[in-house]
Amino acid sequence: QVQLVESGGGLVQPGGSLRLSCAASETIMRFNTMGWYRQVQGAERELVAGITSGGSTNYADSVKGRFTISKDNFQNTMYLQMNSLKPEDTAMYYCNAVAVTGRPGRWTTNDYWGQGTQVTVSS
């Protein structure tokens, strides 16, 4: 079973920066996509940023220009660099990885999640 372990969360003042890491227990090159999601209590989990196996990225409008997603295939780690943090970025941040295997007509999708790391932006 794939394990994803997030780290790097914490308390930061508005305007500050944090870098989140997601370390996988096996090669991340097997994942078709990886991403960072966040969730605040009482709300649905939302996609913050995603990255494909080929390196294409996408971002939620609320974080464009402030957050950068990246990955290191050799370190089996994905990152989220968060700059210019705002109080509304406060949430639990989760790492996600999706692996699609099989063949046409018989695809199997495996969805993996980490335990989350808390980010709190407050003065």
Q: What is the mean pLDDT of each run of 10 residues along the chain (123 residues)?
A: 95 98 94 97 96 96 98 96 98 97 90 97 97
Cα gap 108→111, rounded to integer Å:
10
